[in-house]
Amino acid sequence: MRSINLNGREISYEVIRWRVKYLRIYVMPEGYLRIISPTDDVEEVIREKENWILRKLALFDEIPQEAFEKFPLFGSFYEVERGDETGICKNRICYRNLPLLERFLRTLLKKELLKLIGSYSPLIGQTPSRVFIRKNRSRWGSCSSRGNLSFNLMAVSLPVDLIDYLVVHELAHLIELSHSKAFWSIVSQFHPDYRKKREELRVWWLTVWANPLWRLIMEG
């Protein structure tokens, strides 16, 4: 692992040589850089991207230290234990294997989502055609032109108020597919602090990906 000083901050980085046309920089949850590059000579590009890297690292600094060792679920952090059962056992997350754990998480999230959708649909005046739970590597949720809502399995890690926001956000897309002023006007009726929640979701995204067990679930 090499290191470089950016604006007084010592940052470790690794270079992975690969046949790529352009160099790629990834800021890892552990606070180091992973660089995919056709060459070992990367320091100049790192310095060119200094401001972007430092902004990303500032977000990573907000990741709770618990996330690296404990499993986030509904905004709380649990010790994890392998065993014969799968579920919450004595304030721990117990699981026999990853497929059973994923099924357990899907069941928890689906129950919460359907409860919230049932509450908000009459207020917003829209009901989704179908609701899906998917493993998505780029977004918390989405709404299709057919009126289907999709939510990221990782959403079960979030505090309930953020899941609440996600449901309102996607239901609002049934009226306005784009992030227009009209869209945000709908969202703000139920979450006037939506800007703050969007920032919280950015940190939670990094928090979940920092957890080794969550990464195994999402990559499986």
Task: Give pLDDT tens digits for 151-168.
Answer: 999 999 999 999 999 999
Task: Give pLDDT tens digits for 44-97.
Answer: 999 999 999 999 898 888 899 999 999 999 999 999 999 999 999 988 999 999
Residue 217 vs residue 19, higher pLDDT = 217
Q: Taking the chain, what is the end-to-end CA distance rounded to the nearest angstrom? A: 28
Q: What is the mean pLDDT of residues 5-30?
A: 91
Task: Give pLDDT tens digits for 26-42.
Answer: 988 778 999 999 999 99
Percent of the chain exceeding pLDDT 90 equals: 89
pLDDT of residue 61: 86
CA distances from 74 to 87, 99, 133, 154 (A): 14, 20, 16, 10
Superfamily of domain 98-219: Metalloproteases ("zincins"), catalytic domain (3.30.2010.10)
**Is the Cβ–Cβ distance between 188 and 172 less than 8 Å?**
no
Q: What is the mean pLDDT of residues 214-219?
A: 94
Where, residue-wise, is CATH 3.30.2010.10 in the chain?
98-219
